[in-house]
Amino acid sequence: MSYIATATNKHFYYLDVRIEDIDIQDIATGLAKECRFNGQIDNFYSVAQHSVYVSYLVAPEYALEALLHDASEAYVKDLPSPLKKLLPEYKEIEKSIDAVIRQKYNLPPVISDAVHLADLMMLATEKRDLEIDVGSNWLMLEGIPTSDFIVNPLTPLQAKVLFLRRFNELNKRS
């Protein structure tokens, strides 16, 4: 059976995802090294940093879910949405990983509306600040406000530290 070795030296099996193989260190490492927008931006900007921002845009009861809303991408990567739509089997694998992560961290089985909206707000903010597809309107962002954040991309190490600090802060609350 195919697996990947993770940063914490676990074996992660795509077709047999086990709760004990999910580790916040692996999630932080993977997301901190995963560039948003398929890397098609001038400066590296990580999924980890994006996730931290999203976690601050929701009410406290949704913050951990918001922080981990893209956690599966630490294991399967952040494919552009148009490409994901063409790969139904990939989407199923990603969904199964997401389900185990949600179970491990006691998150709702499906993304909350509040988290989805915050994710879109950050997307609108990133489009503005990172100057993505300037002059084009994205239908998914119609009526979605930008956040008050100003996106200044961090290095992968800085993003990992920020992500883990936010995770630890949220775990102290619960």
Domain layout of the chain by residue ranges: 24-173
Q: Are 25 and 135 spatial neighbours (Cβ–Cβ below 8 Å)?
A: no
- What is the distance between the alpha carbons of residues 36 and 88, in angstroms, rounded to a whole number? 21
Report whether CATH 1.10.3210.10 matches the domain 24-173.
yes
Q: Is the pLDDT reported for residue 1 higher than 70?
A: no
pLDDT digits (tens, 9 = 90+) for 70-109: 999 999 987 888 898 899 999 999 999 999 999 999 999 9
Is residue 16 helix, strand or coil?
coil
Say what the pLDDT of residue 21 is: 95
pLDDT digits (tens, 9 = 90+) for 15-74: 999 999 999 999 999 999 999 999 999 999 999 999 999 999 999 999 999 999 999 999
Q: Is the alpha carbon torsion for 35, 122, 48, 160 positive or negative?
A: positive
Say what the pLDDT of residue 77 is: 87
- Mean pLDDT over all residues of the chain? 96
Q: Is the alpha carbon torsion for 144, 150, 155, 156 positive or negative?
A: negative
- What is the distance between the alpha carbons of residues 42 and 81, in angstroms, rounded to a whole number? 20
